[in-house]
Amino acid sequence: MQFFTHIPFDWPRRNRAFDIRLTTSVQSRDAIYTGDDGHVTNGDETRFPLSLLGSFTKGLPHALDTSLLLNRSSFDAFVRAIDTGDVDFIKTLPLGPDPTGANNFFSSAMASGANTRGWESMAAGLAFTLEGPDAQRVTMPPAPQIDSVELGYEMSEAYWMALCRDVAFNDFGSADIVKAAAESLGNHPWLTVDQSLQQQEQQQQVCYNNNNNNNNSNLLTPAETRRREFELRNGMGITTDTVFRGVLQGDDIGPYLSQFLIIGCDTLGGFPRTDPAAYITGLIRYGSNRIDQRVRKATPSRDYMTTWGAYIDVTNGADVRGRESYVAPTGPNFNDEETHTFIHTPRDLATYVHYDALYQAYFNACLLLLAIGADFDDGIPFTKSDVVDKQTGFVLWGEPHILSLLVEVVQKSLKAVRFQKFNVHRRTRPETVAGWVDCVKRPRPTPVSVAAATSEGAGQNGFEKVLKPIEALCRYVDDDLLNRVREHNFIQNDTQLDGDNNLPRRNDFDPVLSSTTDHCKSNQKQQQYSQQTAEQQEQEQKAIGTFLLPMAFAEGSPMHASYGAGHATVAGACTTILKAFFNTNDTLPFTFKTSANGTRLEQVKCEQKLRVGDELNKLCSNVSIGRDWAGVHWRSDYTESIKLGEEVALGLLREQANIYVEQFSMTVPLFDGGVEVISNRK
């Protein structure tokens, strides 16, 4: 004991620590954020108060034949639950097809025996945060309205993406279906028609009802103008080289996929940066373990929710997660190449974003950048040789610092986007709008009498009038595309695609072929198809071939609203953190793409070396748009949500600048082309 040395606590430090926290709190309070003037919605919830066209209602009870909400009161309770976060009240919400709670999913084989699926983190936007902007101080502009030309463009893109889901990214330039998609989207009125005239035309239309007018103005909003300019690609327009790509700097350079989604760095004790063979393994060094960039192979050409029965069951909250199909090994001594692949097709990318840990792609990218020795930002401390600095970054300005920030920013950005999803916009998902398109294109013989049909409509034509906004939307989805969707779904529904799972889709309920309650008659009628003439089959195809959006996931979208997108918000936040620490002008020594069958990587020559910042932007876009490829998000969910995540990350970095002893600066390229410098240098 006599040799022990007692070091007294530095009591003045306690006060300095408090002062730093107080100063940072005041800084956070006085900072300027996009949500300081409040939040603005697109007004659809007000325009259509009973039908709630455009609003997220998944999981509440819907009419079996139209998917319209059965009762507005259930939505009111839903909103109250969101706004209060009252756990006990949330437990009283009607969840499933039956408002009384006696749920039974019987409309499709896919949902046989399914339980109901609860909503996800409804009150997360009410929680506070101790660093960065409060969840309610950042915002997003209004989403496109349900009957707008822009949403027609987004619906068209969603349909085309579903049809192109199994085309290899490397084949986009030659595949006929991708060429058709590029031509169709490139000629869409959203991009080709003077939008001031387009908006005037919309204003001249007869109002959908006597109480709610279309709120379009003659001029596009700044957000609409920006989104439209994004799609015009600085005058390049949409071609097979640009279709379905992101809108950020670098997205149009090199292969479709970011290098950070495919390359590896599987070497301990020093990575041979100049050896291309070191990258093609696709294995990322994770300590002494490995992370494999390959993904499980989803069954090609297998889409979901293409029958009305499956769609309405999922809309009513059927939990069919995990019922999707994957390629199975063919024998006991199978090779991993049978069941796993590099991300090679949009379906592979959709599979990646189905089960990823939200920061996974950026965590992997950081490991890759650290392994290959990518340069840090010039203002980061300890970047000179050890002979000069006499120390290296680790706890701060090194690997643990960056990796922990990636995790830290995720929850903060998710709180912010949950507030936008649930408490502000409550935007519906693409699958739901496609369901209403199906109602317009395949009229129901005796639609169920719901409150919306009698209150927002008029007399016997009430249901048809309720769908007038969807009829307007359909003007902006070309007939050739809709016919392709119908034919695609007909093939999905007519064949025993799910035979291995004993799920014959032709037995699913369809309101066009039968009454809501007569399922046996529906089954018999559908089974008679093979005995019909060609003309009769064509007519039947129009019925069985739905206009629903083919989904990559059996369960469709998550149980939360579409706008903003959680993946895209996290992508924007994590990418911003990485761009703050690394020199975005550093280049990658090689470029790779997948082989013809997706099982290998091949080196390719690019006209210019790929920059770190560009490939990080592309990673952000790939993951965000990967959710679009699955059918669960809109294009604008991506373009607006990444900016939300960026704003959260920048706020966090600004506040953390107060805590460091070392003088530093970070030069952060922004998604809009600007630059922000974060520094504690005087």
Q: From the candidates 340, 354, 567, 633, which is the catalytic residue?
A: 567
- How far is Cα 558 from Cα 355, in angstroms, rounded to an integer? 12
Task: List, as own/partner pairs, every contact residues 191-197 make where C-beta atoms lie below 8 angstroms and the sequence separation is at least 24, other chains included.
Answer: 191/153, 191/228, 191/231, 191/232, 191/237, 191/238, 193/149, 195/149, 195/220, 195/224, 195/228, 196/220
**CB 309 within 8 Å of CB 493:** no
Query: Which tokens in the block code for residue 644?
Result: 């939300």
Q: How far is CA 63 from CA 94, 316, 341, 447, in A?
A: 14, 9, 41, 9
- How far is Cα 434 from Cα 428, in angstroms, rounded to an integer? 11
| Beta carbons within 8 Å of 215's beta carbon, 6+ residues apart | 43, 47, 145
Torsional class of 247: left (φ above 0), alpha (ψ -120 to 50), beta (otherwise): alpha
Backbone torsions φ then ψ of 256, nearest 5 degrees: -60, -45
The angle, 0 to 180 degrees and rounded to 10, between the axes of the packed helices 11-30 and 635-656 is: 150
- How far is Cα 171 from Cα 585, in angstroms, rounded to an integer? 29
Nearest to 493 by CA among 482, 501, 503, 484: 503
Q: From the candidates 62, 340, 425, 560, which is the catalytic residue?
A: 560
CA dihedral 58, 223, 164, 467 (to 10 degrees): 50
Nearest to 145 by CA among 416, 428, 439: 428
| Catalytic (active site) residue 188 | no
Beta bridge partners of 678: 666
Query: Which tokens in the block code for residue 527?
Result: 């089974």
Q: DSSP letters of 526-551?
A: HHGGGGS-HHHHHHHHHHHS--PPPB
Torsional class of 324: left (φ above 0), alpha (ψ -120 to 50), beta (otherwise): beta
**CB 318 within 8 Å of CB 362:** no
| Catalytic (active site) residue 340 | no
**CA gyration radius for the chain?**
26
- How far is Cα 667 from Cα 274, in angstroms, rounded to an integer? 27
- How far is Cα 106 from Cα 444, in angstroms, rounded to an integer? 19
Please, what sign has the CA dihedral across residues 522, 525, 527, 533?
A: negative
So which residues are the catalytic ones? Answer: 560, 567
